[in-house]
Amino acid sequence: MINKIRSIRSSTRKPNILVIGDLMIDHYITGSASRLSPEAPVPIVNVKNESFTLGGAGNVVQNLVALGAQVTVAGVIGNDTAGVQLIEILSNEGVQTHTIIKDESRPTTVKTRVLAGSHQLVRIDREITDPVSEAIADKLLKELVNYLEKADIVVLSDYNKGLFSSSFTQKLIQEATRYNKRVIIDPKGLNYEKYKGAYIIKPNRKELAEAAQLEKVDSLESLQHAAKIIFKQTGAVYLVVTLSEEGMLILSESGYKLLPVKATEVFDVTGAGDTVLATMAYFIAAGLTIEEAGELANHAAAIVIRQVGSATTTIDEIIQDMKNSTL
């Protein structure tokens, strides 16, 4: 397997991946809080640092770039300062942004977190999560046609911010299918029927239970039962269920494969789902099987959850992690 990955890394042809998703900015204000405000019983934060990073589908994009993919990203942002900032960060990563549409009627989603040391005091969200207008969705679809043709694989990163209405999601999947492109989806919400025709749907355990309308999914039997319900709704080829510290489960209509977790230490699971999604998309686009891609995604997840905050990993780090786990 390591030799396979090395040959993918040294290949001159990079996997070409189209990411369509909810784009947002993560804004962090960090400082110290040593006294309460005289105006209200709240801490006063003395700001030491402020940073802006990509959130939502942007985290999937950064994971793909770190692996060495050629990425085009599509989505809807506002015609505002945060939107300019988002395009700038993506362009600096070498990502194609021609398929990002500006919508005058909504702001770019910004999540501002105020932290004192490592303690989060408050989160402020600027966003509109109503469905994007049909006109904007049609404009985006029109822009995407050329890029669908060139993509090796299509990734939908749904954060429930209004982009993936049922009709738009179905039009997208149908258009991708017309070009024989496989679609991998990170789902949100309860309506999985809108993902009909996907190649892979990747929920976590909680999302799967909610979508299948089961109280809990805590055993292999209940996972298979929940998967059956989703397969019936969507006709997906595979379900990849992330199971936190237990690893991940790859399910098809005919069977399953459990991939135990590779992490020895867990510091922060933030963004690990995005890493799994990106790693699987990258290696499937590069020609590996879903089982091989899942194995590598497990190693990638193990690397990022040892770090604090959303992190990315590289092929070299995955190779190193594989070597370490066989010692």
Set 138, 274, 316, 321: catalytic member: 274
Neighbouring CB atoms inside 10 A of 81's CB total: 12
Quote the CA–CA distance of 87 and 100 in Å, as a whole number. 8
In the numeric block, which tokens belong to residue 46?
């003395």
Q: Biggest alpha carbon distance in the chain?
A: 64
Whether the Cβ atoms of residue 325 and residue 261 lie closer than 8 Å to each other:
no
In the numeric block, which tokens belong to residue 218?
């805590």
- Strand order of the β-sheet with 238-242 is 96-103, 70-78, 16-21, 153-157, 183-186, 200-201, 238-242, 248-252, 255-259
Crossing angle of helices 272-285 and 57-67, in 10° steps, is 50
Quote the CA–CA distance of 140 and 194 in Å, as a whole number. 18
Enumerate residues 6+ apart whose C-beta is below 8 A from 150.
Answer: 16, 18
What contacts 24+ positions apart, CB below 8 Å, involve 77-80?
77/23, 77/101, 77/102, 77/103, 77/108, 78/102, 78/103, 78/104, 78/106, 78/107, 78/108, 79/103, 79/104, 80/107, 80/108
Instruction: Clarify whether 22 is annotated catalytic.
Output: no
Quote the CA–CA distance of 64 and 66 in Å, as a whole number. 5
Q: Give me the active site residues, please.
A: 274
